[in-house]
Amino acid sequence: MTALLTGTGLYRSYGPTPALRGLDISVAAGEIVAVTGPSGCGKSTLLHCLAGILRTDAGEVRYRDQDIGLWSEAARSRLRRTDFGVLFQFGQLVPELTAAENVALPLLLAGSGRREARKSATLWLGRFGVGDLADQLPGAMSGGQQQRCAVARALVTEPRVLFADEPTGALDVLTGEQVLTEIVHVAREQGTSVVLVTHEPRIAAYADREVALRDGVLDPTGLGLGLGA
Amino acid sequence: MGGVSTSHVLLGLLCAGPQHGYELKKAHDERLPRAKPLAFGQVYATLGRLERDGLVAQTGQDREGGPDRTSYALTDAGRQRLDEWLAAVEPPAPYVSSTLFAKVVVSLLASGAAAATDYLIAQRAAHVARLRELTAVKTARDASAGDVVAADYAIAHLDADLRWLQTTLARVTDLHQEVIT
């Protein structure tokens, strides 16, 4: 498999505190990779750097063989609208917009027509079992329902790469499993790559492969899930 | 977890109506996917015991096809025995008994902390690999509800073992001190 996304020699610090200390990672097209490790190991920072949300202090992030670190903020922001989907532990829906409007938003920003965007949004909400909540505001939904909407929003543009940072961390076990299973199905059908950050072995098992981190570098023992995590 | 009581499972399967040994074996393997398949010998031996105790009764014989085709039906006493078993709560983990745990302690006694750590790391890798296999079974498009429920059970137990393997890796040194003094 050829790499779709690579990080080479990634360094990133927050002030004097290093989060990534020379890390290499590679994700193939259609591959689901779990990034695991205890709290503070740098796994979320890695996701943010790969998704072009954070700039690295040193090293290269290449997507489809282009160094996205050299791109302007606007170009990287555009990349996240067209090619990347991003999902965090808490939905981060726009509170003033309905579920369908939230999900349609990335399509509208990417230039889709209103009617078409609405249609896709409804479809994706249905796929994640919240089709009947299309006209609800996030405040009227449960945490699990909001997160299902957020997953639909992250996937509505049919991204090539989905970045998911503890996407089921705030969900009950059953809802979490349903959401993950559906993400796996979508990824398999559409050839979407997934970078899945988690500290739980049970969640990492949904991936094809696990990359374990400790203290900002790869953990050669593979024990990234961390002691007592 | 102790072994599953085959006799009670067979009594339950007979609630669907009289069946012979071969049908019962098939029903068992289908309803409890990913359990160890039942051996024919075990089915016939169990049916023999259940008949002796009056919990099942022969209802007829079908000699076509050669092998033993005696059909059995649940008796009233069998139904009562089954209901008692179904309602009885299983004692939750009365003893801490696990090969994993015993192996770590014996390894510390016999070979020391490094050997115990090596074992824990290797065991963890095997558990993670099995966890991934079972998760793939669950997420397959054609997974039946039985597959999912069976995989869920195994996954939950592997996950519990994995948590224990992680915390024990951190505690190997303390445990070693305690074991050798």
State ipTM.
0.81
Q: For the domain A1-83+160-229, what is the CATH code? A: 3.40.50.300
Per-residue pLDDT, averaged over A109-119, amounts to 93
- Shared-domain flag, residues B14 and B47: yes
How far, in Å, CA of B103 to CA of A3, rounded? 41
Banded model confidence at residue A1, pLDDT cuts 50, 70, 90: low
pLDDT, residue A223, reads 61
Sheet holding A3-14, edge to edge: A17-28, A3-14, A58-63, A66-67
Per-residue pLDDT tens digits for B132-143: 999 999 999 899
Determine the average pLDDT of the residues in A37-50.
92
Residues in A whose CB is inside 8 Å of some CB of B read 177, 180-181, 184-185, 201-202, 204-207, 210, 221-223, 225-229
Determine contact, residues B146/A193, Cβ cutoff 8 Å.
no
Please check whether residues B60 and B113 belong to one and the same domain.
no
What residue spans define the domains of chain A? 1-83+160-229, 93-158
| Chain B environment of A225 (Cβ under 8 Å) | 162, 166
pLDDT for A227:
42
Q: Which residue of A has its CA nearest to B139?
A: A181
Residues B56, B29, single domain; the answer is yes
Would you state the pLDDT for residue A192?
97
**Crossing angle of the two packed helices A173-190 and B113-139, in degrees rounded to 10:** 70
| pLDDT of A166 strictly over 90 | yes
Give the distance from residue A221's alpha carbon to the nearest chain B alpha carbon, in angstroms: 8
Question: For residue range B64-111, what is the model confidence (pLDDT) as tens digits?
Answer: 666 668 999 999 999 999 999 999 888 887 777 788 999 998 899 888
User: What's the rounded Cα separation, in Å, for the pair A122 and A120?
Assistant: 5
Lowest mean pLDDT among A40-49, B2-11, B136-145: B2-11
Verify that B78 and B141 share a domain, yes or no: no
pLDDT at A228 over 50: no
Neighbours of A207 (CB within 10 A): 23
Contacts of B162 in chain A (CB under 8 A): 201, 225
The reported pLDDT for the residue numbered B110 is 87
pLDDT digits (tens, 9 = 90+) for A69-103: 999 999 999 999 889 999 988 868 999 999 999 99
> Nearest 5°: phi and psi at B63?
-85, -5
Taking the Cβ of residue B130 and every Cβ of chain A, the question of whether any pair is shorter than 8 Å is answered with no
- pLDDT for residue A6 is more than 60: yes
> To the nearest whole angstrom, how far is the Cα of B167 from the nearest Cα of chain A?
5
pLDDT at residue A222, rounded to an integer: 65
Beta-carbon separation of B135 and A223 below 8 A: no
| pLDDT at A225 > cutoff 70 | no
Looking at CA atoms only, how far is residue B179 from chain A in angstroms?
A: 21
Pair (B139, B69) in one structural domain: no
In a shared domain, residues B82 and B106: no
Amino acid residing at B52: R
How many other C-beta atoms can be found within 10 angstroms of the C-beta atom of residue A54?
18
Structural domain range at position B169: 99-180
Structural domain includes residue B92: no
Q: Are residues B11 and B62 in the same domain?
A: yes
For A165-196, give one letter per residue: b (16+ CB within 10 A) or e. Answer: bbbbbbbeeebbbbbbbbbbebbeeeebbbbb
At residue B95, φ and ψ (nearest 5 deg) are: -120, 145
- How many domains does chain B divide into? 2
